Homo-oligomer: A and B are copies of this chain.
């Protein structure tokens, strides 16, 4: 029963109560919550009020509701740890991208499809690639699937001058991938910088990545630099935050 005089909205009291019971293990991961109509009786409020409370927990990623079945406590997703800062020349040759290796390790059959297009640099891209706004870019859109299911979307952008008449403008970049082609062209890689952020997904991303409510995405922008410090490539990735964790390692000195 909710306290009508506390000043705390009824749906908030219900949400807090449910949250505490979940935290205490009274409703364990995978358990079904009481039905909305049951809770109407328990708490003495109307169904829309109960639903507002449940909506809150859903937005927090605590529960999921399944039409016709019930509301369930979300079991913690098994998160996949991805070691970054490991893109050594050797590793680049072995793996064809970190994510393909991941998928293989988890027993999924990975597949990717690539599309090539060209566009003009916006201000963010121009900054990262040290080109002027509007400069021509080669863009490689890569969609990665595990067992047919979209797991990751990666967009790679390069200054067009660096790619004209190279295999990088082909869908199949050949043995060793795009980095190998770039090194053949005299652009030896010097370093990488990754910028990591997080936000809520757009509806498109949510359906593509099959995200439950209350699951944010991590955005990773990796910029590859030549030995002279010239930016060679910018790679944007979007990852489901309940499935991945990124690990970075570096020496203390």
Instruction: Evaluate contact between A190 and B252: CB separation under 8 angstroms.
Output: yes
Instruction: Evaluate contact between A196 and B79: CB separation under 8 angstroms.
Output: no
Instruction: Evaluate contact between A198 and B195: CB separation under 8 angstroms.
Output: no
Min distance, Cβ A202 to any Cβ of chain B, angstroms: 7
User: Does A175 have its Cβ within 8 Å of any Cβ on chain B?
Assistant: no
Q: Give the size range of A's interface with the partner.
A: 35 or more
A55 to chain B: closest residue by CB: B55
Q: In the complex, which of the residues B61, B85, B246 contacts A200, with contact meaning CB atoms closer than 8 Å?
A: B61
Instruction: Evaluate contact between A248 and B85: CB separation under 8 angstroms.
Output: yes
Min distance, Cβ A176 to any Cβ of chain B, angstroms: 14
Alpha-carbon separation in the docked complex, A236 to B202 (Å): 28
Min distance, Cβ A222 to any Cβ of chain B, angstroms: 9
Residues of B within 8 A of A43 (CB): none
Residues of B within 8 A of A195 (CB): 81, 245-247
A217-253 CB mask vs B (1 if < 8 Å, else 0) is 1100000100000000000000001101111111111
Instruction: Evaluate contact between A194 and B247: CB separation under 8 angstroms.
Output: yes
Alpha-carbon separation in the docked complex, A199 to B61 (Å): 8
Alpha-carbon separation in the docked complex, A236 to B227 (Å): 34
User: Does A88 have its Cβ within 8 Å of any Cβ on chain B?
Assistant: yes
Q: In the complex, which of the residues B85, B196, B252 contacts A88, with contact meaning CB atoms closer than 8 Å?
A: B252
Alpha-carbon separation in the docked complex, A216 to B213 (Å): 12
- A interface residues (Cβ-Cβ under 8 A, vs B): 16, 19, 48, 55, 59-61, 79, 81, 84-85, 87-89, 188-203, 213-218, 224, 241-242, 244-253
A-B pairs with the 7 shortest C-beta distances?
A198-B198, A216-B216, A189-B252, A198-B241, A85-B250, A196-B246, A248-B248
